[in-house]
A and B are shown apart, each in its own frame.
Chain A
Amino acid sequence: MSVLVFAESTGGALKKAAFEAVTYGYKTAQVLGTDCVALTLGEVENPGQLGTYGASKVLTASDLTLNDFDGQVYTDVIGQVAEQIGATVVILMHSSTGKSLVGRLSARLNAGSAPGVNTLPTNDGAFRVKKNVFSGKAIAQVEISSPVKVLSVMGNSFQPETVGAEVSAEGVSVNVPARKVTVKEVNRVKGTVPLPEAELVVSAGRGMKGPENWAIIEEMAEILGAATACSRPVADTHWRPHHEHVGQTGVAIRPNLYFAIGISGAIQHLAGVNNSKVIVVINKDPEAPFFKAADYGICADLFDVVPKLNQALKDFYSNN
């Protein structure tokens, strides 16, 4: 019996979300009175650091064919490791890779699943976790009754904690099946923060009047080290790329700070962002529904306010 965490890597590097998942795995293992084992796939730099975040053991399957993602192959390999170590809980990140694996792995292991959890499991005889449903408009408590459980943990719900020390990673012996998917090309947006992982997000809507006015938004994102996002009408009219669209039919995010600039706050947009820790709304319409969901509001013309805010932010960062 143990908790197995698949710690995802990108281009051989482990990122913050992987550390979050390991800390979540460590805490889950504590609840269940067992150990947390982390697994990396493909060539990964310094997997032993996962010990710091709570893995008592780090296993690596470094077969080169695992450098590129193939859901069928990954599922099989993670499934084999879960069986080898007798894992009762398998934890994934709720990233696009994790989300592509959670269902498949639960079918493979005949395990009940809960995707996108944001609480630790209960330990009162029943295994229950909570997750957002209806695109963040409600929370569901899910009970898993099977001996093996598969969870994916929502990003930014648990912060990585230094609870242990580095360990030396051990190679694990697995049978890597032949790939059926060939990766031809990978294009990652360079130099910017990927939206689903961003802790700070600057988002703008139709109030911007046109794509040519986005310089002030990009400037603000640069000062903050934030990701940029937009509302659906903005993506639909191609003012901004589709991958920036947050909302019910776009990306759902939960950053620490969300700036909504010139976005009225339709229910579908709120559904994708209302789990942000702090929301700042800038809108010239005092009746904009977004103010009801905001922590801080500025009712003014964004073209006046945003340059002033950018200056205030610059001053802040140069003094801190």
Chain B
Amino acid sequence: MKLLVCVSKTPDTTAKISFNADHSEFNEEGIQFIMNPYDEWYALVRAIELKEAAGGTVTLINIGPASNDQIIRKGLAIGADDAVRIDCQPKSSLFVAKQIAEFAKEGGYDMVFCGKETIDYNGSEVGGMVAEYLGQPFISYATEMTLDGTTATIKRDIEGGKETIEVATPFVLSAAKGLAEQRIPNMRGIMQARRKQIDVRQPVAFDDLSTVVSYEMPPAKAECKMIDPDNMTELVRLLHEEAKVI
């Protein structure tokens, strides 16, 4: 079984977000970067579990500059076998998806895993795009998955509930909370990761069709109005008359 896991680099969840002077770029100074949690905790770990149960290989793919190698090494330490990095600074989801799909096509993967979204751009787009380029089904928001031969049974989040589906390999899956439990790399994994290969490749040409042109901060909140705990009628009045939300 050949599994491909797409991993991306995001600012740490506690990162304070700021931009450069003309607000055209995210300010990376002082930012701690991590592997996108949905990619790491759920997509990667479930892929490794499948490999441990049935044999095969787990390959990581990342689209980004050399500084992303630290994220890739962590993925290798958690248990991926090898990795490829497409060396570039991606600007749009479609560009990223094109690079992944071009690589995946030649590899003949049984499954491509990604996280349900990145915690920076929150697009949830790349998985579906890769699936479309590969002509495969895309199963989003997977929270449970079992595999019987080439048939997967997957539970996924839908509006206000869950859905259980069946699909045959090959397919693309996006991982949500529940699909696996986070794993912390152990010393042996970290040592082994040093000897594993990161194959660095050049991107295929693709024009961006959408780009972020500027950033801004959300408008500042007005001062919090403190309410007397013994006067809840006043709170209800304010919610009705002032805020007009009830």
Does B57 count as interface, using CB distance less than 8 angstroms? no
Closest 6 CB pairs of A and B: A194-B160, A103-B125, A112-B209, A112-B210, A103-B128, A104-B128
In the complex, are the beta carbons of A292 and B158 less than 8 A apart? no
B-contact 0/1 string along A247-287, CB 8 Å cutoff? 01110100011000000000110010011011011000000
In the complex, are the beta carbons of A316 and B240 less than 8 A apart? yes
Query: Complex Cα distance A182/B152, Å?
Result: 11
List A residues 125-144 near B (Cβ within 8 Å): 128, 132-144
Does B122 count as interface, using CB distance less than 8 angstroms? yes
Since A135-B120, A186-B164, A187-B162 are in contact, a sample of 12 more A-B pairs with Cβ atoms closer than 8 Å, ordered by chain A residue number, is A112-B209, A113-B125, A141-B215, A184-B153, A200-B246, A245-B177, A274-B218, A277-B245, A295-B222, A311-B232, A316-B236, A316-B240
Query: Complex Cα distance A140/B213, Å?
Result: 8
In the complex, are the beta carbons of B214 and A312 less than 8 A apart? no
In the complex, are the beta carbons of A128 and B14 less than 8 A apart? no
In the complex, are the beta carbons of B167 and A180 less than 8 A apart? yes
> For B17, B97, B159, which residue has the most chain A Cβ atoms within 10 angstroms?
B159
> For B141, B216, B224, which residue has the most chain A Cβ atoms within 10 angstroms?
B224
- Measured CB to CB, the nearest residue on chain B to A226 is B246
A-contact 0/1 string along B1-41, CB 8 Å cutoff? 00000000001011101010000000000000000011000
Does B92 count as interface, using CB distance less than 8 angstroms? yes
Does B149 count as interface, using CB distance less than 8 angstroms? no
Query: Complex Cα distance A188/B163, Å?
Result: 8
In the complex, are the beta carbons of A138 and B17 less than 8 A apart? yes
> For B17, B127, B177, which residue has the most chain A Cβ atoms within 10 angstroms?
B177
Least Cβ distance of B210 to chain A in Å? 3
In the complex, are the beta carbons of B128 and A142 less than 8 A apart? no
In the complex, are the beta carbons of B122 and A116 less than 8 A apart? yes
Least Cβ distance of B175 to chain A in Å? 12
B-contact 0/1 string along A90-128, CB 8 Å cutoff? 000001110111111111101111111000000000001
List B residues 153-194 near A (Cβ within 8 Å): 153, 157-168, 171, 177-178
Grouping DSSP codes into helix (H, G, I), strand (E, B) and loop, the B interface class, with mixed when no group exceeds half, is mixed
In the complex, are the beta carbons of B221 and A293 less than 8 A apart? yes
Which residues of chain A are near B159, meaning CB under 8 Å? 10, 95-97, 188, 194, 196-197
Interface size of B by CB at 8 A reads 79
In the complex, are the beta carbons of B245 and A256 less than 8 A apart? yes
Known A99-B124, A107-B94, A189-B161: A296·B225 in contact at CB below 8 Å: yes
Known A103-B123, A280-B239: A257·B211 in contact at CB below 8 Å: no
21 A-B residue pairs with CB within 8 Å? A71-B128, A72-B137, A96-B159, A103-B128, A111-B209, A113-B94, A115-B125, A133-B120, A138-B216, A139-B216, A141-B216, A142-B213, A143-B212, A145-B210, A180-B167, A196-B159, A256-B245, A292-B221, A298-B235, A309-B232, A312-B235
Residue numbers of A with Cβ under 8 A of B are 10, 69-72, 75, 95-97, 99-108, 110-116, 128, 132-146, 180-189, 192, 194-197, 200, 224, 242-243, 245, 248-250, 252, 256-257, 267-268, 271, 274-275, 277-278, 280-281, 291-300, 304-305, 308-309, 311-313, 315-316, 320
In the complex, are the beta carbons of B211 and A104 less than 8 A apart? no
Which residues of chain B are near A291, meaning CB under 8 Å? 224
- Measured CB to CB, the nearest residue on chain B to A255 is B245
Query: Complex Cα distance A143/B246, Å?
Result: 37
Which residues of chain B are near A133, meaning CB under 8 Å? 120-122, 212, 215
